[in-house]
Structure 1
Amino acid sequence: MDSQIWTYVIVGVTFVLYIIIAGLSKAGSTKEFYVAGGGVHPIANGMATAADWMSAASFLSMAGLISFMGYGGSQYLLGWTGGYVLLALMLAPYLRKFGKFTVPDFIGERYYSKNARLVALICALFVSFTYVVGQMKGVGVAFARFLDVSFESGVLIGIGIVFIYAVLGGMKGITNTQIAQYCVIIFAFTVPAVFISLQMTGNPIPQLGFGGKTADGTYLLEKLNQLSVDLGFDEYTKVDKGNTVNMFFITAALMFGTAGLPHVIVRFFTVPRVKDARISAGWALLFIALLYTTAPTVAVFARTNLINTLSEREYVDVPQWFTNWENTGLLAFDDKNNDGKIQYLADAEKNELIS
Structure 2
Amino acid sequence: MSDIQLWTLVFTALSFGVYIYIAYASRVNSTSGFYVAGGGIPAPANGAAIAADWMSAASFISMAGLIALSTNGYGGSVYLMGWTGGYVLLALLLAPYLRKFGKYTIPDFVGDRYSESARLIAVVCAITVSFVYVAGQMAGTGVVFSRFLGVTPTVGVIIGMVIVFFYAVLGGMKGITWTQVAQYSVLIVAYLIPAFAVSSKVTGIAVPQIGFGSILEELDGLQADLGIGEYTAAFGSTNMLNMVLITGALMFGTAGLPHVIVRFYTARSVRAARFSALWALFFIALLYTTAPSVAAFSKLQILEDVEGGTLSSMPGWFNTWTDLGLITQADGTPLSELPPDTVLSFGDVLINNDIIVLASPEIGGLPAPIVGLVAAGALAAALSTASGLLLVISSSVANDVYYKRINPAATEARQLMVGRLAMGGAILVAGYLGINPPGFVAQVVALAFGLAAASFFPILVLGIFWKNCTAKGATAGMATGLIVTAAYMLWTIDIYGNSDGIFGIQETGFGTVGMLINFVVTITVSKFTTKPSQTMQDLVEEIRFPGRSELVVKHAEGDLDIH
| TM-score with structure 2 setting the length | 0.58
Once residues 13 and 320 of structure 1 are traced to their aligned partners in structure 2, the CA distance between those partners, rounded to angstroms, is 27
Higher alpha-carbon deviation: 184-193 or 6-15: 6-15
1:109: how far off?
1.9
CA distance in 2 between partners of 1:338 and 1:176 (Å): 51
Change (3 A) 1:280 1:236: same
After superposition, give the CA deviation of every residue in 1:289-316 in whole Å (9 maximum; x if it has no partner): 0000001110001111111122222322
SS in 1 for 2:49: helix
Q: Displacement, 1:73?
A: 0.9
How many correspondences in the alignment? 342
User: Are the aligned partners of 1:52 and 1:264 in contact in 2 as well (CA < 8 Å)?
Assistant: yes
Cα shift at 1:92 = 1.6
CA distance in 2, matches of 1:105, 1:325: 45
Would the aligned equivalents of 2:103 and 2:265 in 1 still touch at CA under 8 Å?
no
* 1:237 partnered with 2:232: yes
Per-residue CA shift, 1:48-85, capped at 9, x if unaligned?
10000111010111111011112111111111111111
Alignment equivalent of 1:256, drawn from 252, 264, 283: 252
Is there any run of 5+ residues in structure 1 with no aligned partner, and where?
213-219, 351-355
The 1:349–1:295 alpha-carbon spacing in structure 2 relative to 1, beyond 3 Å, is: closer
Are 1:208 and 2:204 matched, yes or no? Answer: no
Show the 5 A alignment for 1:74-89: 74-89=77-92
Distance 2:227 2:143 in 1: 29
Alignment deviations for residues 149-173 of structure 1 (CA, whole Å, 9 cap, x no partner):
1111111111111111112211111
Q: Counterparts of 1:179 and 1:222 in 2: how far apart (Å)?
A: 39
Does residue 220 of structure 2 align to residue 225 of structure 1?
Answer: yes
What percentage of residue pairs aligned between the two structures are identical?
Answer: 57
Which residue does 2:392 correspond to in 1? none
Q: Is the 8 A contact 1:84 1:259 kept in 2?
A: yes
Kindly report the root-mean-square deviation, in angstroms, between the aligned alpha carbons of the 2 structures. Answer: 2.1
SS of the equivalent of 2:239 reads helix
Match of 1:46 in 2: 47
Deviation at 1:206, TM superposition (A): 0.7
Displacement of 1:349: 8.6
Question: Does 2:277 match 1:281?
Answer: yes
Task: Tell me the alpha carbon deviations over residues 184-235 of structure 1, each in whole angstroms, 9 at most, x when there is no partner.
Answer: 00000010000110011111111011212xxxxxxx0111111212222111
Determine if contact 1:95/1:101 at 8 Å carries over to the other structure. no
Q: Give 1:270's aligned residue.
A: 266
Offset at residue 47 of structure 1 (A) = 0.3
Structure 1 348/207 Cα, relative in aligned 2: closer, same or farther at 3 Å?
A: closer
Residue 27 of structure 2 is matched in structure 1 by 26
Residues 322 and 161 from structure 1, CA distance in 2 versus in 1: closer, same or farther, beyond 3 angstroms?
A: same
Aligned to 1:216: none
What's the TM-score, normalizing by structure 1?
0.91
Contact 1:49 1:267 in 2 (8 A): yes
* Deviation (angstroms), 1:115: 2.8
Does structure 1 conserve the Cα–Cα contact (< 8 Å) formed by 2:67 and 2:295? yes
Q: Is the 8 A contact 2:139 2:157 kept in 1?
A: yes
Query: Are 2:350 and 1:347 equivalent residues in the alignment?
Result: yes
Do the aligned residues in 2 keep the contact of 1:103 with 1:262 (CA within 8 Å)? yes
Of structures 1 and 2, the larger Rg is shown by: 2
CA displacement, residues 259-288 of structure 1 (integer Å, 9 cap, x when unaligned):
222111111111111110010011001100
In 1, Cα distance between equivalents of 2:351 and 2:192: 29
The residue that corresponds to 1:16 in the other structure is 17
- 2: CA distance between counterparts of 1:158 and 1:292? 25
Provide the rounded CA distance (Å) in 1 between the counterparts of 2:126 and 2:34: 21
